Amino acid sequence: MVTNLNARCTGLDIPESIHRVHGLDIRSTAARLASSSLESVDRVESEEARRGDGPGAEQGGSYWFSKRASKEIDSIGDDLNSVSSSIGGGAKWMVNKIKGKLQKALPDLLKEYDMPAGLFPRDTTNYEFNEETKKLIVYIPSACDVGYKDSSVVRFFTCVTGYLEKGKLSDIEGMKTKVLVWTKVTSIKTEGSKVHFTAGMKKTRSRDAYEVVRDGIIIDKF
C-alpha cells in the first residue's frame, strides 16, 4: 500500500502551471512525504520481525503491523492536507491525485445532478464539491467566453461558485451571459428539454445546446 503511494507521488504527471506554487516545489514535497512514510513503515516492519511478528508470524503480529502501518498512511494524509491548505485551488487537484482520491469528471458530476454536461468550458482545471453543503467551486485558467450551438454566449471568471442541487445551480458568482448587454447569471435551472438562465430576467434556452463541452476563448477582462 505504501509502495503504491510512493509510486503515485514520484510518477505524477503534474502540470507545469502548478509545479511550483507560492515557492513550494510540489513534486519534491510529494516525493519527500511519500519517502518519509515508507521509511516509517519499514521501521515498524523491522520491529515486528525482531519480535517474531513479521510476515511469517502468527495472525496477531500481522494485525498489529497492519494497524501501525495504517497509522503511518493516515499520517501522510494529514501532511498532504496541510500542503493542500497552503496552496492555491488549482494545485489541490495534484494533492487529491496523490491521495488517490480522484474526482469524477465535472461533466459527469453535472449529469448526475440533472444539469447539462457542457455547461462549463473544456479547459476547466479543477473543481471542489461539498456533498453536504452542495457548494460547487470551479477553477478555470483564464477568464473566457464560450459560444454554444444556439448562438448564445456565456462568460466565465477564473473562479465560479454556486450551490448545485438536482436540476439547479443557484447563488452563482463568476458567470455572465449576453442579454443585449453582459448580465450576471445568478441561477441556472433545467426543465425537461429547456434550461433557464436567470440574469436579471429569466432567459429560456434549449438544453441540447449545452450538452457538448466546448472550448473557451480567452478574454482580457471579465
Each residue's pLDDT tens digit, 113-136: 999 999 999 989 899 999 999 999
The candidate with the shortest Cα–Cα distance to 188, out of 212, 160, 215, is 160
Q: Is the pLDDT of residue 217 over 80?
A: yes
Using only C-alpha atoms, the chain has a radius of gyration, in whole angstroms, of: 23
Determine the average pLDDT of the residues in 178-196. Answer: 94
Residue 221: its pLDDT value, please?
86
Would you kindly state where each structural domain of the chain is located, as residue ranges? Answer: 2-98, 106-218
| pLDDT tens-place string over residues 66-99 | 555 555 555 555 555 555 444 555 555 555 555 4
Give CA separation, 165 vs 171, 191, 216, in Å: 11, 13, 25
**What mean pLDDT, rounded, does the chain reach?**
75
Give me the count of residues in the chain: 222
Query: Is a pLDDT exceeding 60 seen at residue 214?
Result: yes
Nearest to 21 by CA among 95, 93, 88, 94: 88
CA 107 to chain CA centroid, nearest Å: 12
pLDDT bracket for residue 43 (50, 70, 90): low
Predicted confidence (pLDDT) at residue 103 exceeds the cutoff of 50:
yes
CB 126 within 8 A of CB 90: yes
CB 62 within 8 A of CB 53: yes
The mean per-residue pLDDT over the stretch 135-157 comes to 95
pLDDT average, residue stretch 144-164: 96
Instruction: Identify the residue whose cell numbers are 470551479.
Output: 138
CATH 2.30.240.10 fits 106-218, yes or no: yes
pLDDT of residue 68: 53
* pTM for the whole structure: 0.58
| Cα dist from 55 to 6, 22, 45, 200, whole Å | 21, 43, 9, 67
Q: Which residues pair with 180 in a beta bridge?
A: none
pLDDT at position 71 is 53
